Amino acid sequence: ETLKHIKTDPHNAILSTCEGIMPMTTDATNAAQQQFSAGDASPLTGIPIIYKDNFNITGTLTTCASNMLANYRSVYTATVVERMQATGSISIAKANMDEFAMGSTNENSAFGAVNNPFNPAHCAGGSSGGSAAAVASGLAPVAFGSDTGGSVRQPAAFCGVTGLKPTYGRLSRFGVIAFASSFDQPGIFSKTAADCATVLAATAAHDDKDSTSVKRETDDYVGQLGNAVQGKTIGLVRDLFDRVQSAEAQARYEDAIRQYEKLGVTFIDVELPNPELCVAAYYILSSSECSSNLSRYDGVRYGHRSVHSDDLNALYTASRTEGFGPEVKRRILLGTFALSAGYYDAYYLKAQKMRRVILNRFNELFENIDSILLPTSLITAPKLGQDFDYNDDMCTISANLAGLPAISHPIGLANGLPVGIQLIGKHFAEANLLNLVHQFQ
């Protein structure tokens, strides 16, 4: 039934299904049925799960929505997928995305943009737009995405679902195709924080296959959902709420803040590190890392191989020219420039120093507060074809620079489109964030 539903996919959220790919559908369904009859089903047994198309799952096409990998089939499975499969859940399909997770509207996909389920003339957000639209339109109750600079939280906000980006290192990156390795973190989409907690509990544990995966114990994400939030002090980023243009969205934010106050939360105004500077540092650093990570797609070791070349250098050039889309090329150029000998100190090194200053600033803030409340985006989902500025990412990027956990949750509609609000927590405070949102919901 779910597969039938997925195949209708009016939003272009899905790139391929896992049908017929063992042990994804038939085997997994049989195993789930056995678990049910044996009485040892987990809360995720039999639940269909959608993965962004940068998650490797053996046998599936894993394209990163790029012509470079249009025919690539995975030869191994990402750790988070393996852990989800161990719960008895069923990997059902792979979701559309911006090419190599670079973008904010899903329009950088080589396979077409994703339509917003609330209004198909608008984008679903990005880069995990397919995963967000899939959950919003009911194709699956849970989807995975990746969040390097906001790519789980922002599409979650644009599509009216909940999106969690855990602390950097909490979920294994093994098997998730790299964009910017010091920022990348798998993230979870579902309708509610409670469902995110169940999924996080099933996937968060140390992984020897990812050297940046933390050894720290996990918390009881589900068990802590009932904890009192009374008396917590939350920092309110007034400056960013004030920058929201739409009066309707402003009203939703005021309502949400009041609702949090009713739960017994106290707000104090805080200022985040300069958001424009965060955006600048992020784009220098993430592009530098991407220029290195994407050098492997040369048409020989990996990826599309051009037939229009006579020698090796021409083969590399033609393969990359044909395989990558314009945004990916822009990032590779920017990153290669920032890392080049004469400019390294002026750009890359400076941005690294800024990253440290931003982290220090968060650490200072967190001495007096429990978490931080801010918009997920200053705008609701823009129309397809409309310009999207790098600065439009300013609400999500600082959490990635500092490696902090953050969650976006829906708070209603403005002019027919969803509005999302975001909480940023201390390192490894996922249980607290999930509980706050759970109480709100």
Residues identified as active-site:
52, 127, 151
For ligand GLN, the closer of residues 15 and 256 by Cβ is 15
Residue 59 beta carbon to ligand GLN: minimum distance, rounded to whole angstroms: 25
Q: Which helix (H) or strand (E) holds 260?
A: helix 247-262
Distance CA 128, CA 99 (A): 10
C-beta of 118: minimal distance to ligand GLN in Å? 20
Minimum CB separation from ligand GLN for residue 290, in Å? 9
Q: How far is the CB of 417 from ligand GLN (least distance, A)?
A: 18
Q: Which residues contact 161 (CB under 8 A, 6 or more apart)?
A: 132, 135, 136, 189, 190, 191, 410
Spatial distance between the Cα atoms of 84 and 51, rounded to a whole number of angstroms: 11
Identify residue 272 by its one-letter amino acid code.
Answer: L
Pairing between strand 48-52 and 14-17? unpaired
Angle between the N-to-C axes of helices 79-86 and 193-203, in degrees from 0 to 180, rounded to the nearest 10: 100
Residue 286 vs 432, nearer CB to ligand GLN = 286
- Closest to 381 in 3D by CA, of 107, 123, 109: 123
Q: Which is nearer to ligand GLN, 64 or 437 (CB)?
A: 64
CA distance 279 to 273: 11
Is residue 274 classed exposed, middle or buried when 0-12, 13-18 and 19+ CB atoms within 10 A define those classes?
A: middle
**Would you tell me which residues interact with ligand GLN (CB under 6 A)?**
101-104, 127, 146-151, 179, 286, 393
Tell how strand 186-190 and strand 233-236 pair up.
unpaired
Q: Are strands 417-425 and 119-123 parallel, antiparallel or unpaired?
A: unpaired
Q: Is the peptide bond before 43 cis (omega within 30 degrees of 0)?
A: no
Cβ closer to ligand GLN: 69 or 270? 69
Record the tokens describing residue 376, joined without a space. Answer: 């997920």
Spatial separation of the C-alpha atoms in residues 161 and 153, rounded to whole Å: 9
List the structure tokens of 269.
């105004």
- Cβ 10 to ligand GLN, closest distance in Å? 25
116 vs 435, beta carbon nearer ligand GLN: 116
For the CB of residue 285, give the shortest distance to ligand GLN in the complex, in Å. Answer: 11
298 closest CA partner among 335, 276, 323, 265: 323
- Residue 82 contacts by C-beta under 8 Å, 6 or more apart in sequence? none
Minimum separation from the CB atom of position 15 to ligand GLN (A): 16
Nearer to ligand GLN, 103 or 425 (CB): 103
Of the pair 232, 331, the CB lying nearest ligand GLN is at 331
